[in-house]
Amino acid sequence: MMASNSGPTALAPAGPSVRVRAPAKINLYLAVGDVREDGYHDLVTVFQAVDLADELTVRPARRSAVRTTPPDGVPVGAKNLAGVAARLLATRTKSGGPVAIDIAKQIPVAGGMAGGSADAAAALVGCAALWELRVQRQELIEIGREIGADVPFALAGGTALGTGRGDLLSPVMTRARLHWVLAIADHGLSTPAVFAELDRLRAQGGGPPPVRPVDTMLAALTSGEPAKIAAALGNDLQAAAISLAPGLRRTLRAGEQAGALGGLVSGSGPTVALLCADAESAGAVAAELAGSGTCRSVRVAAGPAPGARVLPNGGTG
């Protein structure tokens, strides 16, 4: 079992290190189909990576360890997805060795923005660089798929259409640079619990009306017009997230009243993503939302952003 949040001694540099940055995602569109035999749901989703990111430092160590700053709420020990990713890459490529992974977290934990998947993607990219593996990004994506449904997108970045479990990706071209305000809740939501709540609502016959076909969103992204993209935002999980966390209704209303073009719960929530007309409007919406008392904190973010990548000065450390 890997040590976790262990003291600085376990993480003392034992050689060169690699720094990696991996983005959070927003689901601009998320249609949830039936539950499958493997327990996952068939999805049609449009992801966008944004410039809110976690940074990982990976270095060789006498024994493997993962430390997260701040540590609150991040899974520790063998469950930490960055550690899982490092071990899986070592097994698959029959290379590498113990690594110490330091995670500087910006992405909200259990927030519907795929923070754990971003850390897994970063660990794959970081270990591949540290161990000087000759692997293509596509091979990392195949390994990432085994770790979690959102890991392939954290490797790919940009804007993409996801099908299957959300892990079969095709890039979506868009001219738009989108300016978001993120309302971060003072609690997390468990992704399996939110999917189960949607199943429950649907089984009772009181499920939310399904989102419109994805074509409207794809056409809006082609147009590059934020107002059209805002009108096409949709998430089948939103009603389930609100059912478990009713306060999200107030957050969405406050964001729209503050001047956002549109908003939605990101993925399984509880982070609310508000799309704004431009950077200036996002700044104003963020300031007003921060004073609304409807969320713990507020961030501005822009997309699309690149997938997990080694930082240029990360060669030695």
Residues annotated within a binding site for ATP: 108-118
What distance in Å separates the CA atoms of residue 40 and residue 145, rounded to the nearest whole number? 13
Residue 222: C-alpha distances to residues 185, 219, 257 (Å) = 32, 5, 27
Q: Which residues make up the interface to ligand C5P (CB under 6 A)? A: 39-41, 43, 148-150, 165-166, 191-192, 195
State which residue, 149 or 248, has the beta carbon closest to ligand C5P.
149
Catalytic residue flag (residue 51): no
Which residue in the list 102, 150, 167, 236 is annotated as catalytic?
A: 150
In the complex, what is the shortest distance from the CB of residue 271 to ligand C5P, in angstroms, rounded to a whole number? 15
In the complex, what is the shortest distance from the CB of residue 303 to ligand C5P, in angstroms, rounded to a whole number? 20
Catalytic residue flag (residue 150): yes
Backbone angles phi, psi at 61, to 5 degrees: -150, 165
In the complex, what is the shortest distance from the CB of residue 297 to ligand C5P, in angstroms, rounded to a whole number? 24
What distance in Å separates the CA atoms of residue 246 and residue 312, rounded to the nearest whole number? 43
State which residue, 158 or 166, has the beta carbon closest to ligand C5P.
166
In the complex, what is the shortest distance from the CB of residue 39 to ligand C5P, in angstroms, rounded to a whole number? 6
State which residue, 226 or 267, has the beta carbon closest to ligand C5P.
267
State which residue, 133 or 244, has the beta carbon closest to ligand C5P.
244
For 210, other C-beta atoms within 10 Å of its C-beta total: 12
Indicate the annotated binding residues. Answer: 108-118
The one-letter amino acid code at 207 reads G
What length does the chain have?
Answer: 317
Tell me the CB-side half-sphere exposure of residue 123, using CA atoms within 13 A: 34
Rg (CA), the chain: 19
Residue numbers annotated as active site = 25, 150
